[in-house]
Amino acid sequence: MRVVTATHRRLSELVREGRFREDLYYRLKVVEIHMPPLREHKIDLPILVDHFLAKFNARLKRAVKGVSEEVMMALVEYNWPGNVRELGHVLEHAMVMSPQSILVWSNLPPDFRHIVIIPKKTQQTTGRGGRPLSSGQPAGTGPDRETILQCLVDSHWQLQVAASRLKISRSTLWRRMKTMGLHHFMKSEKSKD
């Protein structure tokens, strides 16, 4: 029999305080794996967002393709006391409330919107009707096809690395790759490995 347990408390301290059984602690403590809270590895947010969108698309029979820059910025700004489970709940709520294929600010839960403060530059609308990207460029502008392709090649097709270099989110990079027909290159590059 194998037992896997998880806790958000420091059991060693609870044992010292006499609030957790010492014998049980040593029975459970065979292999200890420290999982950092989501607030300590926010670089994984785009990957987690993609995971939850795929999961909820299947469950809810939807076709949500991504989140707006404003939503991604809010997700990055938030401290996530409920970790990945809370992120999943926020995205599921947004998908239930969203009639469109891209999740926007108004789709997020009201209590979440009241807590998160988005930096001013994302709150200013541009003349094109969109919101500025995190790089400060107006929505609909940004790196051209050649720049994106070169950055992808230089980063060995690692989307998170390329997105960081381009100063855009991973989901934005993926959407632009699909729009520009670059996602087909990625599949052919992966098949070469």
CATH number at residue 110: 1.10.8.60
Output the pLDDT for position 119: 52
Domain identity same for 86 and 171: no
Domain identity same for 14 and 82: no
The arithmetic mean of pLDDT across residues 156-162, rounded, is 84
User: In terms of C-beta distances under 8 Å and separation of at least 24 residues, what long-range contacts does 107-116 make, across chains too?
Assistant: 107/71, 108/71, 108/74, 112/74, 112/78, 113/74, 115/78, 116/74, 116/77, 116/78
Q: Which residue has the tokens 């707006």?
A: 68
Q: Is the Cα dihedral 131, 133, 136, 142 positive or negative?
A: negative
Phi and psi dihedrals of 16, rounded to 5?
Answer: -60, -35
Window from 79-88, 107-116, 121-130, 184-193 with minimum mean pLDDT: 121-130
Domain identity same for 52 and 126: yes
Reply yes or no on whether the pLDDT at 77 is more than 50.
yes
Domain identity same for 147 and 185: yes
- Which helix (DSSP H) or strand (DSSP E) does residue 102 occupy? strand 102-103
| Of the residues 131, 150, 165, the one at which a domain ends | 131
Domain identity same for 89 and 103: yes
Number of structural domains, the chain? 3
| Of the residues 131, 155, 178, the one at which a domain ends | 131
Domain span at 168: 142-193
Domain identity same for 88 and 51: yes
29-51: pLDDT as tens digits: 888 888 888 999 888 899 999 99
